[in-house]
Amino acid sequence: MDTTGPTFSTNEIAESLGVSVPTIHRAALRLNLEPRRGTKRILQLSEKGAQALLEHLGKAPKLDGFRREELFILHVLQKRPFDLRSARAVARCAGISPSTASDALRELEQRGIVEHRCVTVAEGHAKQIEVWTLRIDPYWMTDDLAALIRSVVPPTPSQCNERAVYVPQRFKHLFWNADLSKLNTRTHGPAIAISILEQYDPHALAWIINNLDKEAFSVAAGQRRGLSPKTLALASHIAESK
């Protein structure tokens, strides 16, 4: 174990991640981490070890009425309101097994917290698809709870954390004069952001928020010429939130 940097007790890590100390010990064993005895013989892990446990176990506060897996699901549905078309897709993003995701989604749906509904998307033509979405009901989704869900960190690695390189074909109608195969999110981020922000397609907006970096929106917000105040304000707001 690296002893040159800060260390954290397994009790502190367990409290931070919202799990039990035995869970931390078992995970450390699986990850081949080597905790050492600190003062009062309490097991200590390096900062690198604590980060490895965060990526492996995720982080979710203890909240009455919700299991950790349910909070992971609420977090990814909050971030990806139009993308997740199956329990398997939800599972990939939440870092949990498909069977666990299916059970949790079914329970959350019965409680009226999530729903499986049809939406219309443009994928070459108008097409109806079924997606899992979070029901934004002020009766249960208070501002404090929304902030808490945003603070959740699902286990990684997750395919949902990988940013897309190219704009999906389903958004081709928003780029009438461009070849999508040549629009790279890493080099054309501001141009992609401006095209979508100007047309205010909610599905496309959700996509760029998840796949473009802060710089793309900052540059877009600085493009004063030819853009509406609404577009500039939205670009600036998204950049500040990243």
Q: Are residues 127 and 192 in the same domain?
A: no
Pairing of strands 43-46, 36-37: antiparallel
pLDDT tens digit sequence for 150-198: 899 999 855 555 677 888 888 888 887 788 888 889 899 999 999 999 8
More confident residue, 142 or 196: 196
Domain boundary among 113, 138, 160: 160
Burial annotation 57-91 (CB, 10 A radius, 16+ → b, else e): bbbbeebeebebbbbbbbbbbbbbbbbbebbebbb
pLDDT at 124 over 70: no
Q: Does some domain include residue 2?
A: no
More confident residue, 3 or 131: 131
Q: Are residues 98 and 21 in the same domain?
A: no
Q: Are residues 82 and 148 in the same domain?
A: yes
Q: What are phi and psi of 41, to 5 degrees?
A: 60, 25
Q: Are residues 135 and 112 in the same domain?
A: yes
Q: Are residues 155 and 220 in the same domain?
A: no
pLDDT score recorded for residue 15: 92
Q: Does some domain include residue 105?
A: yes
Q: Are residues 175 and 236 in the same domain?
A: yes
pLDDT at 1 over 60: no
pLDDT tens digit sequence for 63-87: 888 999 999 999 999 888 767 888 8
If DSSP codes are grouped into helix, strand and coil, which group holds residue 143? Answer: helix
pLDDT tens digit sequence for 91-102: 988 999 999 999
Q: Does some domain include residue 182?
A: yes
Tell me how far apart the alpha carbons of residues 122 and 120 are, in angstroms, rounded to a whole number. 7
**Residue 32 sits in a domain of what CATH number?**
1.10.1660.10
**Bridge partners of residue 129, in order along the sequence:** 119
pLDDT class of 216 with cuts at 50, 70, 90: very high
Q: What separation in angstroms does the CA of 19 have from each of 11, 79, 91, 104?
A: 10, 23, 20, 18
**Residue 88 sits in a domain of what CATH number?**
1.10.10.10
Say what the pTM is: 0.69
Q: Does some domain include residue 233?
A: yes
Number of structural domains (the chain) is: 3
Domain boundary among 160, 189, 208: 160
* Alpha carbon of residue 25 to chain centroid: 27
- Tell me which residue range forms the domain holding 139: 68-160
Q: Does some domain include residue 63?
A: no
Tell me how far apart the alpha carbons of residues 98 and 227 are, in angstroms, rounded to a whole number. 44
Q: Are residues 73 and 140 in the same domain?
A: yes
Domain boundary among 160, 181, 200: 160
Nearest to 90 by CA among 110, 76, 108: 76
Q: Are residues 76 and 125 in the same domain?
A: yes
